[in-house]
């Protein structure tokens, strides 16, 4: 079980780092094509989307939104997740004799997503 956890962790570590870092940037980015809290009259899942995209929970009673406090929390969470993933990769190398396998699985976790993204490009 530990070995499975080790290899799965190494395989998904690059994707976790990528999506955490880009989600962090998306959280604090000001470049948007729609107004903050635009989905306030939408379904509950659209409101949850506003939490990820706008860092607000849009209520009909709100006059304005201030996402700064939630953004601080997301930045702290992102930093901690990045550090935790990097610590996990470090521990994977330290806790096993087969550093070659850990390296190969980590490399596969980088190359496979790149390959799938490249294969997803359709040329007509």
Model pLDDT for residues 18-75, shown as the tens digit of each residue: 778 777 766 676 655 556 555 545 666 666 667 767 777 777 787 888 888 888 888 8
Task: Note the pTM of the prediction, 2 decimals.
Answer: 0.65
Q: Which of 66, 42, 41 is nearest to 55 (CA)?
A: 66
Q: Judging by beta carbons within 10 Å of its beta carbon (0-12, 13-18, 19+), is residue 44 exposed, middle or buried?
A: exposed
HSE, side-chain direction, 13 A CA sphere, residue 89: 19
Would you say the C-alpha torsion 117, 114, 88, 95 has a positive or negative sign?
Answer: positive
Cα distances from 113 to residues 19, 25, 41, 42, 120, in angstroms, run 12, 20, 36, 33, 10
Mean pLDDT value of segment 87-103: 91
Residue bearing tokens 């000001």 = 30
């Amino acid at each position: 079980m530990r070995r499975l956890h080790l290899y799965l962790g190494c395989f998904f570590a690059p994707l976790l780092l990528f999506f955490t870092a880009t989600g962090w940037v998306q959280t604090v980015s000001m470049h948007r094509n729609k107004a903050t809290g635009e989905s306030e009259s939408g379904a509950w899942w659209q409101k949850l989307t506003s939490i990820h995209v706008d860092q607000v929970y849009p209520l009909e009673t709100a006059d304005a939104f201030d996402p700064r406090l939630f953004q601080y929390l997301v930045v702290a969470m992102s930093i901690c997740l990045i550090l935790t993933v990097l610590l996990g990769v470090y521990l994977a190398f330290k806790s096993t004799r087969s550093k070659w396998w850990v390296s190969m699985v980590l490399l596969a976790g980088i190359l496979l997503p790149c390959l799938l993204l490249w294969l997803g490009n359709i040329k007509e």
